Amino acid sequence: MKVKPSESLKIDAFSMRIGDVQDVELDRLHALSLSVGWPHRAEDWQFLREVGQGFVALDEIGRVLGSAMWFPHGASFATIGMVITSPRLQTLGAAQWLMHRVFDKIPGRSQRLNATRAARRLYLSLDFQPEKTIYQCQGIARVPTTRSLAEVSGDIRTLDASNIPAAIALDAAGFGVERTALIEKLFAHSSGYGLFDGKKLTAFALCRPFGRGHVVGPVVAESDADAVALVRPHVADHSGSFLRVDTHMNNGEFAAFLSHAGMPVFDTVLTMSLGKRLPEFSAGGSARPKTYALASQTLG
């Protein structure tokens, strides 16, 4: 018989209770992410609340001491993110308690998350398995003086709402599941460039405000040259300001371009999965679209 996760957790001399992330003031969520050095603004938390669901851990006087969110895609898959516990609780079981609450809400779904070094032991204890390293590339953007010698397969144009269905299909091919609601929401908050073969969209890159500046992602393309050609105009748009790209590419033309564009590797996280794995991010040489950059570490 399955035991339902507890609604409260005793921590040292006080108890925590569960709450809904939708019911908490944004400034309190922002304070939680600041406490662990994460860059999320209150606006970033609000965006995540609009595309996902989650829990918070509250102490006896209503302070937010932890969080965990999930983002369902289709009937059988979800990504998990924003798993945070305040520094004083990080060795006391609060994160595991929150994760079991999430599991109770998404039974039967395969799951994927991106784990910081500090959290990997937790996720291994919950049977998540390592997949691939994600490289957090960031810095003050600058347009590289050198250009790709490879030929770009199409015309680059700005995206609008009419391109959403094609972007959803490309994203599904690169990510492994269809993320209709997420891509629609990202289009509403992003600027975008697409690569077109006539009227057909063959690759795209979105960019939106996030954290200290802007984040580019998702980026879905069939080749390094195409991905570079789509990210370059975003770099030009934000030259001189903070820009971030989260990618699993650690070599090749795309990785080199990010470094030359002022975005060297700052940190890494590890993609981990539980249940049925999505097709792994494909390496170079595949003709099918590849995910060159995530929407974010939280969203995948």
Tell me which of 108, 123, 148 is where a domain ends: 108
> Is 118 within the bounds of a domain?
no
Q: Would you place residue 288 in the very low, low, confident or very high pLDDT band (cuts 50, 70, 90)?
A: confident
Tell me what pLDDT residue 154 has.
87
Given a cut of 50, whether residue 61 has pLDDT beyond it is yes
Residue 91, domain member (yes or no):
yes
Q: Using alpha carbons only, give the angle 230, 171, 41 rounded to the nearest 5 degrees.
A: 75
Number of domains in the chain: 2
Q: How far apart are alpha carbons 196 and 202 in whole angstroms?
A: 6
Q: What is the pLDDT of residue 86?
A: 81
pLDDT of amino acid 60: 83
Average pLDDT over residues 214-219: 98
The strand pair at 110-115 and 77-85 is best described as parallel
Peptide bond into 218 cis (omega under 30): yes
Tell me the average pLDDT across 116-139. Answer: 95
Claim to verify: residue 139 and residue 285 sit in the same structural domain:
yes
pTM of the model: 0.90
147 and 79 co-located in one domain: no
Task: Flag whether pLDDT at 89 surpasses 80.
Answer: no
pLDDT band at 112 (very low <50, low <70, confident <90, very high): very high
Query: Would the pLDDT of 135 be above 60?
Result: yes
- pLDDT > 90: what percent of the chain? 78
pLDDT at residue 162 greater than cutoff 80: yes
CATH number at residue 242: 3.40.630.90
* Residue listed under structure tokens 């709402």: 161
Domain contains 117 = no
Last residue of a domain, one of 92, 108, 124: 108
Residue 145 pLDDT more than 60? yes
The residue-averaged pLDDT of 135-154 equals 86
Are 163 and 95 contained in the same domain?
no
User: Which strand (E) or helix (H) includes residue 116?
Assistant: none
Mean pLDDT, the chain, as a whole number?
91
Confidence tier at 146 by pLDDT (50, 70, 90) = confident
Judge whether residue 283 has pLDDT over 70.
no
Residue 129 domain-assigned (yes or no): no
If asked whether residues 75 and 139 sit together in one domain, one would say no
Tell me the mean pLDDT in the region 48-55.
97
Q: What is the CATH number of the domain that holds 63?
A: 3.40.630.30
Kindly state the average pLDDT of the residues 4-19: 67
Query: Per residue in 136-165, is it b (16+ CB within 10 Å) or e — as a string?
Result: bbbbebbbbeeebeeebbbebeebeeebbe
Mean pLDDT of 154-160: 95
The whole domain housing 65 covers 8-108
Q: What integer pLDDT is reported at residue 285 of this predicted model?
A: 44
d(Cα 165, Cα 121) in Å, to the nearest integer?
A: 39
Least Cα distance to 141 among 207, 235, 246, 211 occurs for 235
Indicate if 247 and 154 belong to the same structural domain. yes
Judge whether 125 lies within some domain. no
Q: Examine residue 2 and state whether it is found in any structural domain, yes or no.
A: no
- Residues 141, 63 within the same domain: no
For residues 28 and 104, membership in a common domain is answered with yes
Residue 237 and residue 155 share a domain: yes
Residues 246 and 139 in one domain: yes
Query: What pLDDT score was predicted for residue 70?
Result: 98
Higher pLDDT, 269 or 86: 269
**Rounded Cα–Cα distance for residues 16 and 24 (Å):** 15
Based on the fold, state whether residues 288 and 202 are members of the same structural domain. yes
Cα–Cα distance for residue pair 56/66, rounded to 1 Å: 5
Say if residue 141 is in the same domain as residue 280.
Answer: yes
Neighbours of 61 (CB within 10 A): 6
Whether residue 173 sits in one domain with residue 101: no
Q: Give residue-wise pLDDT tens across range 226-278.
A: 999 999 999 999 999 999 999 999 999 999 999 999 999 999 999 999 998 87
User: How far, in Å, CA of 163 to CA of 241, rounded?
Assistant: 28
164-170-174 Cα angle (round to 5): 140
Q: Is residue 300 part of a domain?
A: no
Residue 233 maps to a domain: yes
